[in-house]
Amino acid sequence: MSLSITIATRESRLALWQAEHVRALLTQRGHSVRLLGMTTQGDQILDRTLSKVGGKGLFVKELEAALEDGRADIAVHSLKDVPMELPAGLQLACVMAREDPRDAWVSPAHASLDELPAGAVVGTSSLRRTVLLRALRPDLRIEPLRGNLDTRLRKLDEGRYAGIVLAAAGLKRLGLAARIRHIFDSDAMLPAAGQGALGIEIRAGRGELTQALAPLADQPTWLAVAAERAVSRAMGGSCSMPLAAHATRQGERLHLRAAWGDPEGAPVLVRAEGEAQVSTLAQAEALGERVAAGLRAGGAR
């Protein structure tokens, strides 16, 4: 059955790429698709870090309101921006195949983090990246960096930072892979829950829409990010906490690693990991909860 589908999307270049990607896939399957561009609070508030103004959920609230009042049928999100608990009446209907989940080092003059002199300024507004960078190089200055991807690159090019850390997935999707000087090994910079994956949110009870989105879903990615997001949910549900969680599949088993650090305390990480045979979302979430318990046992808050 052919559907008429409206996609709610932020108007940043990366968000529009993601929405256009989904539109192309749905159009190929015979659906009529249009975009509803929106500006979110997260796009408007650029003078404070996300952790101080409400977290990454600020990037999705307006899109969710458009779903709730019927202006849009689906919202396409970078899954790492989606809060762990969705509003009543909304659901995650599809998780798509993942791009590179790792973090990328971008710098005009330094090929890697190791090359930076002591006291050099590195830009990021992610608490996760802050604690991981401090664990790697406690001698550096970590300064806030807000704005969409193009804005962050412009601030780097203006000389405000010696280097910045960005998601490799966003740079690759926008054809900016040439800006990447180094991709961090995930052991050194453990990715955020859901990083590199796109999620599609809809109103609950839209059976025909769920069916239309099913061909876009990637079950291995969905199981991995379900485990990762379960760690965050068990640790308090905020996607602004200094927490990393990343799952990789090894045959029929899912291996999940997590790390937590105190952004105000010593540059030491609490780490935990676990492994299980996972074929359902419930099993993935149980693995995530077990790894979160390991973090708490190690002193994470």
Q: What is the pLDDT of residues 106-149, one digit of tens each?
A: 999 999 999 999 999 999 989 999 999 999 999 999 999 988 89
Q: What is the pLDDT of residue 263?
A: 87
DSSP strand pairing (90-95 vs 121-123): unpaired
One of 81, 103, 114, 187 is an active-site residue; which one? 81
73 is catalytic: no
Torsion 124-126-131-132 (CA) sign: negative
Domain for residue 22, yes or no? Answer: yes
Q: What is the pLDDT of residue 46?
A: 47
Domain for residue 246, yes or no? Answer: yes
Q: What is the pLDDT of residue 222?
A: 97
Q: Is residue 196 left, alpha or beta, with left meaning phi > 0 and alpha meaning psi from -120 to 50?
A: left
Q: What is the pLDDT of residue 50?
A: 46
Q: CA-to-CA distance for 137 and 279, rounded, in angstroms? A: 38
Asked whether residue 231 falls in the same domain as residue 209, the answer is no
Q: CA-to-CA distance for 267 and 140, rounded, in angstroms? A: 11
Q: CA-to-CA distance for 21 and 166, rounded, in angstroms? A: 21
Q: Which two tokens stand for residue 109?
A: 């003059």
Q: What is the pLDDT of residue 56?
A: 52
Q: What is the pLDDT of residue 279?
A: 95
pTM (2 d.p.)? 0.89
Residues of the chain below pLDDT 70: 40-59, 237-240
Q: What is the pLDDT of residue 117?
A: 96
Q: Which two tokens stand for residue 223?
A: 């199981």
Domain boundary among 183, 204, 239: 183
Residues of the domain holding 78: 1-97+196-217
Would you say 170 and 91 are in contact if contact means Cβ atoms under 8 Å apart?
Answer: no
Q: What is the pLDDT of residue 239?
A: 57
Question: Which residues is 244 bridged to in the sheet?
Answer: 259
Q: What is the pLDDT of residue 83?
A: 87
